[in-house]
Structure 1
């Protein structure tokens, strides 16, 4: 493959054929959940039409369900460079994080400490924060530098010590796209003997993940962010999983990873996850699935970053638009958070949809601590546009032109045509 196969990619996403007010819809709301690749839909339908069944049965549909789960675990393991037996499925990343936090904190004692960051989504804050409050554990915070929208790592030696039981950090901000340099955090945590929880929910759709290079003990993400169905995954290092004592019903499996999977899982969605991984793999070349995944990500990054930089350059030239992002030297996902003078984020987003059939999101996206540090929380926070592998140059042109028109046209002069 040489040229980026944008037409071939778009043909794999049925939702991209949707229209709104007679125009093709433009989906720039991917950070909240991507569109679903047809391969994932087909895999789910195949599973259900072939006959659903629960586990441990002495009949073919049960065996097929167990095989599907094994196959998906192997695909996810290749996605993040982990082991299949380290992967547990659940309702979503947030639910899994709460379950793991409750299990891990069984052994926490007053005098212990944990470390959280002000950049993280609450999915990687509140599970640990609530556990710490229940156990009387001290919480230290790695702050955000509000001028650069990056993490301030100047006090790591004080914040992470021999008393630290866990450090939670994000791979990428779901709100402003910052990809923080977490290596010093991970190294300091390892030196202190603390476990590390890494939120990869916003990162997985856009960049390759290597659990081993990260040194992460816990890694959380959700398939509905990377072209699959609504289901979450927890990747837990073997030595941690072996000691984990999740809350579960008594007769259920005591062996990991099944012991974390409370109740009957969404087997159809699990089948869809393998196909979502397969979409990324299909964009790359290589001798192994892992090699093809990495090459696929390289192509995705090149495409998305090129388009995102086009928008950034256009925004810098527009009066009335303020872009909230880290300096150029800091890597970012193709996620753009901004505000428009004289318009609330909600009004801007409504006009973008109703006048131009372009879907962007508004709000704090649960990153309330970051929004507060950025000084936007009380004013409705941000407008957020996110690019995906299926975003085109034409869609970016439409978005840039629509933004110019909205900020030039007073709201009371708008005429809607439905």
Structure 2
């Protein structure tokens, strides 16, 4: 294993020390938060609790907090323009908002492309446009490898008809990372916009929206060690062209016009702290360490004859793994793991298309690693799974 300050890292997460008997592998569902995020939220409440735009000190401090959060997210995902950052209740809510506005621009014969690898938060909002006359097309993936069918995607892109491609940067079920840059290049060559679900990508990989070239990218702060809120990047030209749905007195300029109601200011203070935490560790160092843990996990799972692992091999993925144990329902496995102090998840995790393609009506067990997990925790997981026989 490469050198990584794992003990120093774990010491920054109170939930890990306060629950010493719990091994937390439900990171795809939401990560733990470092002390600095807890402190930032508390500090905001204690010193700056007010609405924005007021002529008094605490309101002005809140203005600074909101601006700092936009700047922090712009750094994290790689845009020089913080006004291309929109905050909202969740990635799901933001995506429905954008899809609704797209629906108002539909023309006869318009098509939208979604993938069977995606979380339903990047599928259902576009499916809603069928009621307005849009046609929805679905890109399959290879069930044996978990790899998206790029040839099928290319064949579906129709200049003049296809309006938008909705695609994941990393599957929340299989961990698969499609060739996102290639998908965006193909879409743009056909005059098609691209909406990227990066909820599972941003916590594990360096993100550069300008280098990728996508038009929209959505993520969730609670998946990268921050509070529960959603973040949307949109190219300025699109945010200014589409019509937002807002109350009449709200600002008409971006990004404010896309942010319905009062933002969660205390959580925005936590977003700043979460980004600063990632910067203090370094995303590349986190990614290298997680790749080593992920390889250990996959090797161990594949060595157990009772276990079927779904998805790709050790490369082209984030450290999120879905599997089943012969003779056990997924929920039963999660319960066994929970009794042994291991947090996992079971079911479809809203990856409906994935489970349908795999023929798994009850879904699968999912474990996902973060940079605060350890080699010893993986060994314990494998030891418990080894006790499960048909």
TM-score, normalising length from structure 2?
A: 0.97
Picking from 251, 254, 257, the partner of 1:253 is 251
Q: In structure 1, what is the equivalent of residue 205 of structure 2?
A: 207
- Between the aligned partners of 1:49 and 1:198, the Cα distance in structure 2 is 36
SS at 1:396 equivalent? helix
Q: Does residue 47 of structure 1 match 2:44?
A: yes
Picking from 256, 260, 263, the partner of 2:261 is 263
Query: Displaced runs of 4+ in structure 1, greater than 4 A?
Result: none
- Between the aligned partners of 2:171 and 2:10, the Cα distance in structure 1 is 26
- Which residues of 2 match residues 256-335 of structure 1 at below 5 A? 256-283=254-281, 296-328=282-314, 330-335=315-320
- Between the aligned partners of 1:263 and 1:156, the Cα distance in structure 2 is 37
Q: Is the 8 A contact 2:321 2:368 kept in 1?
A: yes
Q: In structure 2, what is the equivalent of residue 158 of structure 1?
A: 155
- Between the aligned partners of 1:350 and 1:299, the Cα distance in structure 2 is 33
Residue by residue over 1:65-108, the C-alpha shift from the partner in whole angstroms, topping out at 9 and shown as x without a partner, is: 01111111111101011121100100010000001111122111
Q: Is the 8 A contact 2:123 2:166 kept in 1?
A: yes
Q: In structure 2, what is the equivalent of residue 6 of structure 1?
A: 6
- Between the aligned partners of 2:224 and 2:333, the Cα distance in structure 1 is 26
Shift of 1:327: 3.9
Q: Does residue 382 of structure 1 match 2:364?
A: yes
Residue by residue over 1:230-280, the C-alpha shift from the partner in whole angstroms, topping out at 9 and shown as x without a partner, is: 010010101111112111111111000000101011000011001111111
SS at 2:276 equivalent? helix
Q: Does residue 67 of structure 1 match 2:53?
A: no
SS at 2:150 equivalent? coil
Residue by residue over 1:265-298, the C-alpha shift from the partner in whole angstroms, topping out at 9 and shown as x without a partner, is: 1000011001111111001xxxxxxxxxxxx111
Q: Does residue 15 of structure 1 match 2:15?
A: yes
Shift of 1:326: 1.4
Shift of 1:192: 1.6
Residue by residue over 1:379-405, the C-alpha shift from the partner in whole angstroms, topping out at 9 and shown as x without a partner, is: x21111111010012211111111112
Shift of 1:161: 1.3
Q: Does residue 218 of structure 1 match 2:216?
A: yes
- Between the aligned partners of 2:236 and 2:163, the Cα distance in structure 1 is 18
Q: In structure 2, what is the equivalent of residue 28 of structure 1?
A: 25
Q: Does residue 346 of structure 1 match 2:346?
A: no
- Between the aligned partners of 1:314 and 1:189, the Cα distance in structure 2 is 38
SS at 1:388 equivalent? coil
Q: Is the 8 A contact 2:228 2:267 kept in 1?
A: yes
- Between the aligned partners of 1:392 and 1:323, the Cα distance in structure 2 is 21
Residue by residue over 1:99-119, the C-alpha shift from the partner in whole angstroms, topping out at 9 and shown as x without a partner, is: 111112211122111111111
Shift of 1:314: 1.4
- Between the aligned partners of 1:401 and 1:53, the Cα distance in structure 2 is 51
> How many residues are matched?
387
- Measured on the aligned residues, the alpha-carbon RMSD in Å equals 1.3
SS at 1:155 equivalent? helix
* Distance verdict in 2 for CA 1:51–1:79, change over 3 Å: closer
SS at 2:327 equivalent? coil
Q: Does residue 137 of structure 1 match 2:130?
A: no
Q: Is the 8 A contact 1:109 1:135 kept in 2?
A: no
Picking from 69, 82, 85, the partner of 1:84 is 82
SS at 1:35 equivalent? coil
- Between the aligned partners of 2:293 and 2:263, the Cα distance in structure 1 is 38
Shift of 1:18: 3.5
Shift of 1:307: 1.0
Q: Is the 8 A contact 1:172 1:179 kept in 2?
A: yes
Query: Unmatched 5+ residue regions in structure 2?
Result: none
Picking from 84, 97, 100, the partner of 2:98 is 100
- Between the aligned partners of 1:275 and 1:219, the Cα distance in structure 2 is 21
Q: Is the 8 A contact 2:218 2:233 kept in 1?
A: yes
